[in-house]
Every structure is written in C-alpha cells, then in structure tokens.
Amino acid sequence: MTEKKLKRKTKNVRVIPGFGLSLGITLTVLSFVVIIPLATLVIFTAGMSFNDVIMTVTKPRVLASFRVSFLTAFIASAINTVMGIILAWVLVRYDFPLKRFMDGMIELPFALPTAVAGISLTALTSDNGLVGSFFAKFGIRLAYTRVGITIALIFIGIPFVVRTVQPVLEKLDPSYEEAAGVMGADRFTIFRRVIFPEIWPAAITGFGLAMGRCIGEYGSVVFIAGNQPFETEITPLIIMSKLQEYDYASATAIALVMLIFSFLILFLVSYFQARNTKMIQGGR
Amino acid sequence: MAEKQSNGLVKYFLIAISVIFLFLFLVLPLYVVVTEAFKKGAEQYWQAVSDEYTVKAILLTLEATVFAVVINTVFGVFAAWAVTKFRFEGKKVLTTLIDLPVTVSPIIAGLIYVLTFGRQSILYPLLEKYDIKIVFAVPGIVLATIFVTFPFVSRELIPVLESQGTDEEEAAALMGANGSTIFRRVTFPHIKWALLYGVVLCASRAMGEFGAVSVLSGHLRGKTNTLPLHVEILFNEFQYMPAFAVSSILVVMAILLLIIRSIIEHKGKKETEIR
C-alpha cells in the first residue's frame, strides 16, 4: 500500500523543473571534490599488501601516537561534555548581563583559525606564560605535555556539546521540574530523573562530534604538543611527517586506521542523533 | 524561602563556573594574541603586518576563501535543491558523501589530494602533459580549502528547504513558472538568511584552514603560503612578535565574521517569527 503511494508521489513531485540540472551539477562537483580523490585513496590502498599495512600501523611509535591521540581526545571531550551541559543550562535557563555576548563567544573555536589558537595557547601555557608560570611554581608543566594537548583540544571542542544540548533544553518545559519539585523531589533527583533522561542523547552526540573532531585535530595541537615520540606525538603529526618523507604508503596505512576510527564514531553519533531528533520533535 | 535562596546560590555558582571556564579558554588566548602582537610597539606591529610576505599571504588566503565560498555556494544551492525538491534513489548516499569532508581529519584530506594529484598518481602523466601543477601549488591550496568547507552551505539550506516542503514550488510550476523564476521568487526568499549564514560559516572556516593546506602547500614563502601557514613559519622561527601580529589579522577577521553571523542569525529568526 504505502509503496504504491510513494511511487505515485514520485511522479507528482517531478512537476518542479530542474531535476536534471541540479543533480547533474551536484554530481559533477561532488565527483571532482570528493568521489575521485576518495576513489584514488581506495585504489592506492588496494595496491598495498595487507601485511605491510599491519606492520606499519603496529610499530610501537605509531601505536603510542594512537594512544596519545585517543586518550587526550577522550579526556578533553569528557570535560567538554560536563562543561557543555553546564554552559547550555546557564545560557538557556538564567538571565544575566552579557549573556548574549557569552552565547556568541561559544562559537569562537569554530571561527578562530586553529593555528592562531595553537600559538596563543602555547604562549599562555608555556613556563613563562600567563597561566603556565603559575603552574610552573608548583613544578607542573602544561605546554609540551599531554596536558597541553588536552587543553588545546578542550578549546577546539567547546561548541559541540553546548550547541547540541542547548536546543533540547530550550524545548524542555520547566513545568515538569516544577511538578517534580512540588511532589517533593530534591534538585539532584530532578536533574537525574527529569532533566538528564531528556538531554543525554544530545550530550552523547555532542561528545561524539567533539571526539571525532579532536582525534583528527592538527593545527592547534602541533604547537603546544612538543611532538616527542611516544610521549606527545599525535597521529595526524605522524601522518604529516611520513608525507614530508614522501612515504605515502605508511601515511596512507595510518590514515586508514584513523578513518576507520572516525567512521565508527560517526556511526555511533548518527545513531544517537536519530534518537535526539525524535526527542526534539516530541517522540514521533 | 530556604529553597529559593539555595536556588540562587546554585545559579550563581553555575554562572561563575561558566564565566571562569570561558574566560580561561576563550578570552585569555585572544588577550595573549593582542598583547604579544603589540609587545614591541605599534611601529613594529605595522612592520610585521605590512611585510611583503604577509601581504602575499593575505592575498592568497583571500583568493582561496573566495574560490571556496563561490564554488561551495553554487554547489550548495543546487545540491540542496536536488536533495529536497525531488525523490530519487541513493539520496542518503549522496548526502552522506556531501557531509563526508568535514568528518575527515584535515591531514587526511591533504593526504587524499596528494595521492590523487601527486607524483605517484595515475593522473600525474596527464597533468604533466598539460603542465598543470596542483600539489605544492596554488590550485592544491584552493582545492583543499574547498574540500574542508564543502558541505557548509548545503548543510544550512537542506533543513530549511526540507521543512518548507514542495507545495509552493509545485503550485508555481503548475501555474507555468520556469525553474529560475520559481527559485528566484518562491524558494530564495525562504533560504536567504540560511544561505548567507552558510556563506559566512564557509568563509570563516576557509580562511583559517591549516592542516589540509599545510600538506598541499610545500610552504613556499610568497608563493604558496596562506596566512595560517605564515603564522606557523614565523612561530617556528621563534619570531614570536611577528607571528602574533599576523595572527591578529586573522583574529580580527574571525571576530568580524562572528559578529556578522550573529546578526544574520538574529535577523533570520525575527523574520521567521513575523511569518
């Protein structure tokens, strides 16, 4: 039944002109920018032997870089998830001076070139920097350590969770919380039982998006990382140095592992995003 | 009463945390850029900003940004039109492919282009025959910039067009309007703000792209150096003051685009509310 209906509709919809033209242009540009380069990657990969790929990506230095990239991205995204929920809550529920300004500021990491963020965070956290000198008194180094990488990734990831949780909170009717309060629930219970179930798919989506971005991040991290092999060398940097040595096979092999990781994250994100849209649209 | 008081306490506590967090992570870095840039006075600052290589880098950045914005806008409009106004097989695959570039690490984006157009590529003999240089040349930088900002315009347009449906266009078509008239008179008024928003997003990302451009540029000073790459070179040469001076140009551009963006957002919201 529905199948038939859909088919009939297809015919109707083509009343609008421009199908051939718009799809033609779309596919042409898409081919040049995305499909051909991607196909080249596949062809190039097909020419590599499986053993070589495994050999390359299991070298201790490469494995260490996976660990550094994954760990710092995970910690930074986790911190951003907590801070993102707080920021979204503050921006949606409270009124205070400069709120609009603060809301606009959240977008800064998207707008500021990553290289600029990288060098200014490095200057800030190095041993004689504004923040770094304070920590240096206690013998804590920020720049050129994993902590530094995490700081850069926190900067990069700030907007993700805020911007996914914000619309959900805006839709959430405060009367539910009031009702729960009237019935005697304390604030923690209200958060846990009323608010949290509504926002967690959005928070996880934001976490995943931030994580995906952070794992591949290069510009802001290279300056602050110090790039010590095994310690503070991130995976994108290894790919970059392989490219500079014209070792395209190794670069591609490592890139493939990263691609698999990011597609996995993307897959999980789209799963939670689907749940999230359902929630925003009211469980249809 | 006690309940209300503690409510206020929680409120100010949460606001305080947010303000401190944003101050540390967003305001301080900007402050550092400005103070470091003017550390040696306005004259030195001006010298660094008006340096020959800096000016060339500014021009190249503008060139790549303009290319990326124009191509992605044209593409975005047609792609959004195709995706939202018609039903066809493989739509899901198409939208996934359009969104793909932003999920790929910039370094990998660069790598893909090096593999496609570099020396070991099957296309290389062809490119050499016609003397087309892409890798380590300006076209490569432009291509990389287009790639990393690829879905920015279409992604803004698709949800707007989707929620608007196809009824108005169908009615116009049945009354005999042709494609361009329908777009101009029916569709465009709906997507005006979203389109502008997408363009600004695209521009602000394009001018700051670092990783992908870095792979493809070869860092030839005065030739294939964009502003962010110029910042990197200066910083790695320990020329901190000039590096921050050049950064300050990018900061000003970023903040300008941010302001334009929030104005567009505001106006767009107002207009939909009136409707």
Q: Which residue from B179, B204, B250 is facing A116, i.e. has the nearest CB?
A: B250
The average confidence (pLDDT) of chain A is 87
Do A272 and A199 meet the contact criterion of CB atoms below 8 Å apart? no
User: What CATH number has the domain spanning A50-280?
Assistant: 1.10.3720.10
pLDDT average, residue stretch A260-265: 88
Do A59 and A252 meet the contact criterion of CB atoms below 8 Å apart? no
Domain count, chain B: 2
Based on the fold, state whether residues B205 and B221 are members of the same structural domain: yes
Burial of B42 (C-beta count, 10 Å sphere; 0-12/13-18/19+):
exposed
Based on the fold, state whether residues B26 and B148 are members of the same structural domain: no
What range defines the domain where residue B29 resides?
Answer: 1-37
Domain at B234, CATH number = 1.10.3720.10
Based on the fold, state whether residues B146 and B16 are members of the same structural domain: no
pLDDT at B166: 84
Would you call A115 and B103 a contact, using CB atoms and an 8 Å cutoff?
no
Provide DSSP, A161-199. Answer: HHHHHHHHHHHS-HHHHHHHHHTT--HHHHIIIIIHHHH
Based on the fold, state whether residues B253 and B225 are members of the same structural domain: yes
Q: Which residue from A94, A108, A119 is facing B15, i.e. has the nearest CB?
A: A94
pLDDT average, residue stretch A208-222: 92
Would you call A16 and B21 a contact, using CB atoms and an 8 Å cutoff?
no
Q: How far apart are CA A45 and CA B145, in angstroms?
A: 24
- Give the DSSP letter of residue A215: H
Based on the fold, state whether residues B12 and B77 are members of the same structural domain: no
| Total residue length of chain A | 284
Based on the fold, state whether residues B160 and B247 are members of the same structural domain: yes
Would you call B103 and A263 a contact, using CB atoms and an 8 Å cutoff?
yes
Based on the fold, state whether residues B58 and B181 are members of the same structural domain: yes
Based on the fold, state whether residues B132 and B252 are members of the same structural domain: yes
Based on the fold, state whether residues B123 and B172 are members of the same structural domain: yes
**CA geometry: angle at B231 spanning B228 and B235, to 5°?**
145
pLDDT at B2: 45
Residue A284 predicted with pLDDT over 60: no
Q: What ranges in chain B are assigned the alpha helix state H?
A: 2-22, 28-37, 41-49, 52-85, 91-103, 106-117, 124-129, 138-148, 152-164, 167-174, 179-181, 188-208, 211-217, 227-236, 240-274
In the block, residue with structure tokens 């977008």? A107
Closest residue of A to B18, CA-based? A87
Estimate to the nearest angstrom the gap between the alpha carbon of B243 and the chain centroid. 22
Based on the fold, state whether residues B33 and B144 are members of the same structural domain: no
pLDDT at B213: 92
Based on the fold, state whether residues B233 and B268 are members of the same structural domain: yes
Question: Domain ranges in chain A?
Answer: 18-47, 50-280
Do B215 and B144 meet the contact criterion of CB atoms below 8 Å apart? yes
This model of the complex carries an ipTM of 0.88
CA distance A121 to chain B (A): 6
Based on the fold, state whether residues B27 and B50 are members of the same structural domain: no
Question: Of A67, A74, A77, which Cα lies nearest the Cα of A257?
Answer: A67
The residue with greater pLDDT, B4 or B214, is B214
pLDDT at A63: 95
Q: How far apart are CA B125 and CA B135, in angstroms?
A: 14
Would you call B208 and A116 a contact, using CB atoms and an 8 Å cutoff?
yes
Q: Which residue from A25, A223, A262 is facing B103, i.e. has the nearest CB?
A: A262
**CA geometry: angle at A107 spanning A102 and A110, to 5°?**
155
The residue with greater pLDDT, B39 or A9, is B39
pLDDT average, residue stretch B193-209: 93
Contacts of A90 in chain B (CB under 8 A): 14-15, 18
Contacts of A92 in chain B (CB under 8 A): none
Q: What is the pLDDT of residues B50-84, one digit of tens each?
A: 999 999 999 999 999 999 999 999 999 999 999 98
Q: Which residue from B26, B36, B116 is facing A105, i.e. has the nearest CB?
A: B26
Q: What is the pLDDT of residues B190-199, one digit of tens each?
A: 899 999 999 9
Structure tokens at A98: 């400069």
Would you call B21 and A83 a contact, using CB atoms and an 8 Å cutoff?
yes
Provide DSSP, B2-58. Answer: HHHHHHHHHHHHHHHHHHHHHIIIIIHHHHHHHHHHTTTHHHHHHHHHT-HHHHHHH
